[in-house]
Structure 1
């Protein structure tokens, strides 16, 4: 969950910095000289509102995301559930798995996490499981690759 929280804070931090910078430029002498007086008096309202929204989203979204995103691996099926408002359940038969990859972005590497990507030939059959500890992601990738090879389903 920390991974998602930091992701949201970084993205909103960039938006907030741009909005505050634009407001500071527009309010300076070098900024927009033809600004009406009523707008100049309210110039700082949008940055304050966007900062509040960004902090709210950064606090609520990771918790919500943690509550709705699930995954499970059984002997013959990989199950994932995603979605914010509408839910998507994806069942990937282990015998149909073509590749199992683990990946780490810079933030995941810093936090010791990894993402497990399970690919099939179907465009809808691929699945991501994010935020796993590196050793667990590596172990699951090896187990799934071995099971997929053992159960090898000729999907032609």
Structure 2
């Protein structure tokens, strides 16, 4: 029997909670993105609300709900999402967990990886963040890690590319 520290990784290792958090600057990024979206939604909501001459009581109730939901999204979502959003790559799989209302955990075997892409939108660049999308041979879609430090994202893309190039299989 091999000592525990020399034991090869197993699928069970991939099922534990992913070890890595995203960059702490992701909270400010998510808050900024949510605030921009909230301003747009609220501008449209108030424009429609005040342009309609006869407003029934339920229209006011809908506006209040939209305002409260926007406040919750801007104030609470980024912090909750940061606490939940985790990722890990080992020699057999990539494992992510994300969400803030609905939680999603994804594990993709590295021998199923087809492409590794990185993205850095305009707001992400302001916070020196990037996201990575790992496309697999799966109908469930890609595995995404949003909110990585830009340098860490570049290193992770290189690491994943090296690991998947060395992994046997045709990713289909």
1:82 to 81, 93, 98: 98
Return 5+ residue gaps in structure 2 as ranges: 1-26
Query: How many correspondences in the alignment?
Result: 146
The C-alpha deviation readout for 1:96-130, integer Å capped at 9, x for no partner, is 21111101122112221111111112122620000
Q: Rate the CA distance shift 1:85–1:18 in 2: closer, same or farther, 3 A.
A: closer
Match of 1:60 in 2: 76
Counterpart CA distance in 2 for 1:43 and 1:84 is 28
Match of 2:28 in 1: 2
Return 5+ residue gaps in structure 1 as ranges: 27-31
Counterpart CA distance in 1 for 2:59 and 2:114 is 55
Counterpart CA distance in 2 for 1:119 and 1:20 is 40
* TM-score calculated relative to the size of structure 1: 0.79
Whether the 8 Å CA contact 1:76–1:93 is kept in 2: the answer is yes
Is 1:16 matched up with 2:42? yes
* TM-score calculated relative to the size of structure 2: 0.73
* Greater Cα radius of gyration, structure 1 or 2: 1
Match of 1:102 in 2: 118
- Higher RCO by CA contacts (8 Å cutoff, separation 6 or greater): 2
